[in-house]
Amino acid sequence: MTAPPPPWALLAELTHACPLHCGYCSNPLELTRRSRELTASQWEDVFRQAADLGVLHTHLSGGEPLLRNDLEAITRAAVRAGLHTQLVTSGTGLAEQRLDALVQEGLHSVQLSVQHADPDRSDELAGSRAFAAKRTAAGLVKERELPLGVNVVLHRHNLDAIDGLMELALSWQADRIELANTQFYGWGLLNRAALLPTREQLAVAEAAVERWRTRLNGRMEIVWVIPDYFSGTPKPCMGGWGAVSLTVTPDGTTLPCPAAAALPDLDPPSVLHRPLRWIWEESQAFNLYRGTAWMPSPCRACERRTDDFGGCRCQAFALTGDASNTDPACSLSPHHADLTALTTVPERRSAIVPRRPGALGVPSR
Ligand code: SF4
Ligand code: FES
């Protein structure tokens, strides 16, 4: 068997613990207990193996990675392995001293989440009074001249705030803003009926994004992650299964994408039991949907199959019960009409179930 090209990115989910309770979170409903998290020295080994494999970039993510008391040691290990190291955070807990310690260890950049441009609405959506800490964190990051990205997950309750969000990102001197329409996995899927926007909302928001692109003319990078439930076009999820990146979850389970733990036919390996190179090159989990040979009709004969890879396996499973089906987001999928029905008359529920350990009988940490 020819070895696949190496990955370039590693998503390191350091913990599922988080002080926020966002209902769109893509973390699994069953959150990993803190007692099962990899130690800093286990992460050090993961980063070294990842760099040997060809990985260039890691996101230190969660949950909230700042809840790890040993985040400084973990950051040092990633940087020493030669990886470009980005902290993905809600900003809560990113006080001056903590940030200085992380910068001291070589942290390269920060991505900060925000839920709404209006502080009260942002706190409401986060289920926590977090906005003031985010604003402070943004200022501290820029004072230290680190690149700052702002990430906003968009849905029915904040799509009307694009102008405010852009102004906020500008006032925080962000280098990049990612406007990511909700991907319905984990808690996001559970809350789909409360999060799905209307087509009108999306059209107005997308027009606003275009206006800002013209106005800023490249001064800030603006990423618009497509609302694939509505577009008729599937996203090239993860750049292809087992093609460019891998995810290591808090307990060492290693996945081709963060949501893949929900797939029943997957036998996800752990970095505690297998070398990362074996996982990437030889494991069943990474080879199951790699390339194009596994594809069903209509993907098999479609000229877009090497551009979008048949869409998203996790979404195909969530919507059809079979991860090997064509993603129903594609207008050519035999299941597309079911998705269109969902979006034409959006499911309606206003109450969002907040992400919390124990909320659904999920074991607490
Ligand atoms: Fe992509 Fe498959 Fe749809 Fe073709 S049929 S556009 S490969 S998802
Ligand atoms: Fe898992 Fe798309 S989220 S393949």
pTM > 0.85: yes or no: yes
Query: Of all helices (H) and strands (E), which one includes residue 64?
Result: none
Predicted pLDDT at 173: 98
Tell me which of 353 and 315 has the higher pLDDT: 315
CB 295 within 8 Å of CB 310: yes
List the Cα angle 172/178/180 in 5-degree steps. 135
Q: What is the mean pLDDT of the chain?
A: 94
34-39: average pLDDT: 95
- Probe residue for ligand 2, chosen from 187, 238, 317 as the CB with the greatest number of ligand atoms within 8 Å: 238
Q: Which two tokens stand for residue 362?
A: 């999920």
List the Cα angle 179/21/23 in 5-degree steps. 55
CB 224 within 8 Å of CB 179: yes
Q: How far is residue 105's CA from residue 234's CA, in Å, rounded to a whole number?
A: 39
pLDDT at 361 over 80: no
Express each pLDDT in 178-200 by its tens digit: 999 999 998 999 999 999 999 99
Phi then psi for 107, rounded to 5 degrees? -50, 135
CB 68 within 8 Å of CB 77: no
> Cα(257) to centroid of ligand 2, in Å?
5
Listed residue (210, 353, 236) closest to 289, CA to CA: 236
Fold classification of 9-225 is TIM Barrel (3.20.20)
| 294 strand-pairing partners | none
Q: Which residues line ligand 1 (CB under 6 A)?
A: 234, 298-299, 302, 304-305, 308, 310-311, 326-327, 330, 332
- DSSP tag of 159: G
Phi then psi for 234, rounded to 5 degrees? -75, 155
Q: Do strands 221-225 and 84-89 pair parallel, antiparallel, or not at all (unpaired)?
A: unpaired
Q: How far is residue 108's CA from residue 299's CA, in Å, rounded to a whole number?
A: 39
Question: Which band of pLDDT confidence, cut at 50, 70 and 90, is reported for residue 349?
Answer: confident
Domain limits, the chain: 9-225, 237-334
The closest residue, in CA terms, to atom 8 on ligand 1 is: 310
List the Cα angle 343/352/155 in 5-degree steps. 45
Express each pLDDT in 84-128 by its tens digit: 999 999 999 999 999 999 999 999 999 999 999 999 999 999 999
Question: Which band of pLDDT confidence, cut at 50, 70 and 90, is reported for residue 352?
Answer: confident
Express each pLDDT in 243-273 by its tens digit: 999 999 999 999 999 999 999 989 999 999 9
Predicted pLDDT at 29: 86
Question: Which band of pLDDT confidence, cut at 50, 70 and 90, is reported for residue 365?
Answer: very low
Predicted pLDDT at 363: 41
Rg (CA), the chain: 20
Express each pLDDT in 280-333 by its tens digit: 999 999 999 999 999 999 999 999 999 999 999 999 999 999 999 999 999 999
Q: Which residues line ligand 2 (CB under 6 A)?
A: 185, 237-238, 257, 259-260, 312-315
- pLDDT exceeding 90 applies to what percent of the chain? 87
Predicted pLDDT at 19: 92
Q: How far is residue 347's CA from residue 65's CA, in Å, rounded to a whole number?
A: 33
pLDDT at 355 over 90: no
List the Cα angle 79/56/47 in 5-degree steps. 50
Express each pLDDT in 70-80 by its tens digit: 999 999 999 99
Query: Of all helices (H) and strands (E), which one includes residue 252?
Result: none
Q: Which two tokens stand for residue 324?
A: 């090997």
For the CA of 185, the nearest atom of ligand 2: 3
55-72: average pLDDT: 97
For the CA of 329, the nearest atom of ligand 1: 8
Predicted pLDDT at 359: 56
